[in-house]
Amino acid sequence: MSLQEDLSLVASAVPESIASFRERLDETWIAMALQASGVATLRRRRLPAEQVIWLVLGMALMRDRRIEEVVTKLDLALPVPSGKSVAPSSIPEARERVGSKPVEWLFAETARLWAAEGADEQRWRGLAVYGVDGTSLRVPDSPENREEYGGQWAGEAKGDSGYPMVRVLALMALRTHVLAGAVVGGYGKTSEQGMARDLLKQVPDDSLAVLDRNFLSPLSLFPLTRDGSRRHWLIRTKSNTAMKTLKKLAEGDELVELKVSKEAREKDPSLPRTWTARAIRYQRKGFKPQTLLTSLLDSVQYPAAELVEMYHERWELELGFDEVKTELLEREEAIRSKKPDNVLQEVWGILLAYNLVRLEIARVAKQVGLPPTRISFVLALSLIRDEWIWSTISNSPGAIPKHLLRLRQNLQRLVLPPRRSERVYPRAVKVKMSNYARKRPTPTAPKPDAETPKA
């Protein structure tokens, strides 16, 4: 089907509007999140807790606006007879009063349902397809953030990174880009492997998880299959992965045995001394030979050629991270929050806002019969931002737009041309690092004791 035919299909098949954020994230969900986190209160404040949730989402969607302006633009505060607007000092107080837990709860509960909705509709050989990978976000260089999250260590000569950082590990439904779960931790306090063991517990049954080779460990992969029903994994080997061939299934396809290290069994005594996997060897034009490992041992039911193609769907997760960091966050050096719990609140709000945009994209794609990856995230995000701001001008205070995409001609702009699978782009550095010396955190002198008399 040509691009013009795709555009015509969108214009004829899609209704003039898609579901509003209010329908996807109504007051009931928000109330449950506040109650589950112990934040719900009967007192009606100038900036109530439920409005703070929408403020956090607004901060994620309107990165170019000051927080006070987000409150004003979305008309979130309660009206008062005097007509005075909410005091700027009350906004951070309201955020701290609500905290990060309600937003985390709201993301976790909605992500599990929303991701499964699309993943179940686009299964591969009866398995829902998910991806697991990690990224990092910079946070403002405040003493509290530095202490709580740490940074990237660059050795004794260079020291710590210029910004504190948080790790974000995500579980994504690869064929819709909707996040199914996430874990967040301090960059200098956690490891991806340790966080992955927590995240993999969220993988649903009857699924295939495609992972980066950094997570190749029996500590992560063995419990994934052992503790669920038909929970499988697919991963690329490392250069030093040692394995023994047990049985040849076909050319480049065999059953292998891997040893479990003593260190791994000390951390998890339930692990066996060896474990069995299936190894698939292949080579793509322009690249070195590679080997995949998988828990899918049946070569007839799960053909090797399809598994090779399936592994490369893992790149959808990298594209999702790019949508968050380049488009949603507009490539800002760091997110806004200078206090640790506000950092978590903001990160969970970013992930929730991303899911809401991706959910609307998936709904449009379903209505027109195209894959969600054929709908432009950039244009959809732009239209959603415009509609949200416009609705606050024309509707009642605090209203969230009921019609995110109003006109059919706008929907026509969302369809991307089919991907050109023949293109090859080996990894390379696009922008050279600056030759200037890096600015590193320097220890500050301790404050004098309040009771110490001045000289």
Per residue of the chain (455 residues), what is the pLDDT tens digit? 554 454 344 334 333 333 345 556 666 667 777 776 676 654 556 567 778 888 888 889 888 888 888 887 776 765 555 556 667 778 888 888 888 999 999 999 999 999 999 999 999 999 999 999 999 999 999 999 999 999 887 777 677 788 999 999 999 999 999 999 999 999 988 889 999 999 999 999 999 999 999 999 999 999 999 999 999 999 999 989 999 999 999 999 999 999 999 999 999 999 999 999 999 999 988 789 999 999 999 999 999 999 999 999 999 999 999 999 999 998 887 899 999 999 999 999 999 999 999 988 888 888 888 889 888 998 888 887 877 666 555 544 344 434 444 433 455 567 787 876 666 666 676 666 666 676 766 655 454 454 444 43
Rounded CA gap, 72 and 62, in Å? Answer: 12
**Amino acid at position 393, single letter:** I
The CA–CA distances, whole Å, from 168 to 134, 191, 391, 409 equal 6, 11, 33, 37
Check residue 396 and give its pLDDT.
45
Neighbours of 28 (CB within 10 A): 8
Task: Give the phi and the psi of residue 281 in degrees, each rounded to 5.
Answer: -105, 135
Check residue 330 and give its pLDDT.
87
Burial class (CB in 10 A: 0-12, 13-18, 19+), 82: exposed
**Amino acid at position 171, single letter:** L
Any idea how long the chain is? Answer: 455
Give yes or no for a contact between 167 and 195, defined as CB atoms under 8 angstroms apart.
yes
What is the model's pTM? 0.84
Check residue 34 and give its pLDDT.
75
Give yes or no for a contact between 274 and 262, defined as CB atoms under 8 angstroms apart.
no
Check residue 25 and give its pLDDT.
64
Neighbours of 313 (CB within 10 A): 17
Could you give the dihedral angle defined by the CA atoms of residues 398, 399, 400 and 401, in that order, rounded to the nearest 10 degrees? -150
Residue 188 tokens, joined: 């200098």
Check residue 131 and give its pLDDT.
97
Check residue 93 and give its pLDDT.
86
Residues 6+ apart with CB under 8 A from 194: none
